[in-house]
């Protein structure tokens, strides 16, 4: 697979001017060296991840900086000897900023006095400055979901929840899958921000969550994300419960906590998710109406 991907990537390199060919080769070699000997949870060489998605991003957007940033996007997180300052100093600002936006082991944006309590806040802020930050993250999440089954069950739930709460609504707003023009995606984002009167990254995050969940606070989001193995979901809608229980191999996918019934057929069903398939594909969650949240 690696050699086939290398061949495809070289065809992209050959499309560039001599100057850009040199830069792209340098970044490619930097990424290969940074991920040497590293493996994904699936067991494949880690370098397959940046190369394969770089090809997809080029074929979709043909944006040079986006492809370069993608090749470098995990180099800082996955190496103790590579720092975000190295990316800024060795390459140019736009690429480094994109990498910085998705680098989770730093709460700061390099060269600024901005500090973000949560990695999602950092991404939201950067994405409002440059929509390509969002494109990087959406591409990353798409590819990571393909190997989700290699993660522990509670991490599957955590990733699925974050996807459903933040990235699926963002993808829809941008029309990420339907469009291949970054300028149009940027316009879509700006139109959405204007329509919703959004001025800050926190407002954007809250607005995205509300696309999927109702009456769901930022504190709830953090609690579900950080304690996904201790989250209990609640159903009091009979049709939704029937839909849930009809899912194939449901016993492998949820853990039933309790079932209470009262007069007039009123009931309360509590459960935990063990597998991502139910959470993200079979059941549509709506906090505050169909489902409510509690942490035990």
Mean of the pLDDT values across residues 143-156?
A: 80
Mean of the pLDDT values across residues 255-276?
A: 77
Task: Report helix, strand and coil shares of the chain as percent, to nearest 5.
Answer: 60, 10, 30
DSSP at 43: S
DSSP string, 184-206: HHHHHHHHHHHHTT--SHHHHHH
Active-site annotation, residues: 77-78
Please report the pLDDT score of residue 293 as a whole number: 41
Q: Is the pLDDT of residue 286 over 70?
A: no
- Return the SS3 of 165: helix
Task: Say if residues 279 and 228 touch (Cβ distance below 8 Å).
Answer: no
Q: Is the pLDDT of residue 99 over 60?
A: yes
Mean of the pLDDT values across residues 269-273?
A: 81
Residue limits of CATH 1.10.3210.10 in the chain: 2-150
Mean of the pLDDT values across residues 78-91?
A: 94
Q: At what angle do helices 201-212 and 218-226 cross, to 10 degrees?
A: 70
Please report the pLDDT score of residue 174 as a whole number: 97
CA–CA separation, 249 and 251 (whole Å): 5
Q: What's the whole-model pTM score?
A: 0.85
Nearest by Cα to 205 from 284, 125, 293, 144: 125
Give 294's pLDDT tier (boundaries 50, 70, 90). Answer: very low
Please report the pLDDT score of residue 263 as a whole number: 67
Residue 64 CB contacts under 8 Å (≥ 6 apart), including other chains: 16, 20, 24
Highest mean pLDDT: which of 6-20, 226-240, 268-282? 6-20
CA–CA separation, 207 and 105 (whole Å): 25
Q: What is the topology classification, in CATH, of domain 2-150?
A: Hypothetical protein af1432 (1.10.3210)
Please report the pLDDT score of residue 8 as a whole number: 93
Q: Percentage of the chain with pLDDT > 90?
A: 51
């Amino acid at each position: 697979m690696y050699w086939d991907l290398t061949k495809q990537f070289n065809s992209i390199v050959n499309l560039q001017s001599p100057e850009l060919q040199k830069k792209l080769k340098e970044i490619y070699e930097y990424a290969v060296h940074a991920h040497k000997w590293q493996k994904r949870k699936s067991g494949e060489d880690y370098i397959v991840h940046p190369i394969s998605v770089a090809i997809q991003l080029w074929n979709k957007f043909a944006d040079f900086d986006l492809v370069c940033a993608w090749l470098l996007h995990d180099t800082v997180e996955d190496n103790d000897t590579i720092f975000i300052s190295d990316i800024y100093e060795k390459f140019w600002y736009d690429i480094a900023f994109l990498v910085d936006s998705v680098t989770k082991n730093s709460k700061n944006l390099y060269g600024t006095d901005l500090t973000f309590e949560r990695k999602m806040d950092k991404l939201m802020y950067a994405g409002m400055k440059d929509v390509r930050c969002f494109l990087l993250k959406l591409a990353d999440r798409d590819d990571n979901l393909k190997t989700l089954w290699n993660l522990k069950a509670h991490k599957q739930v955590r990733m699925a929840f974050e996807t459903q709460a933040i990235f699926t609504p963002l993808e829809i707003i941008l029309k990420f899958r339907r469009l291949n023009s970054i300028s149009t995606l940027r316009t879509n984002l700006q139109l959405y921000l204007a329509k919703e009167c959004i001025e800050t990254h926190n407002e954007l995050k809250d607005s995205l969550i509300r696309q999927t969940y109702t009456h769901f606070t930022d504190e709830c989001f953090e609690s579900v994300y950080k304690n996904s193995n201790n989250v209990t979901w609640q159903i009091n809608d009979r049709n939704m419960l029937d839909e849930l229980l009809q899912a194939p191999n449901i016993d492998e996918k949820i853990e039933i906590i309790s079932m209470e019934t009262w007069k007039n057929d009123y009931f309360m069903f509590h459960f935990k998710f063990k597998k991502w398939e139910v959470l993200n594909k079979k059941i549509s969650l709506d906090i505050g109406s169909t489902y409510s949240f509690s942490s035990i």
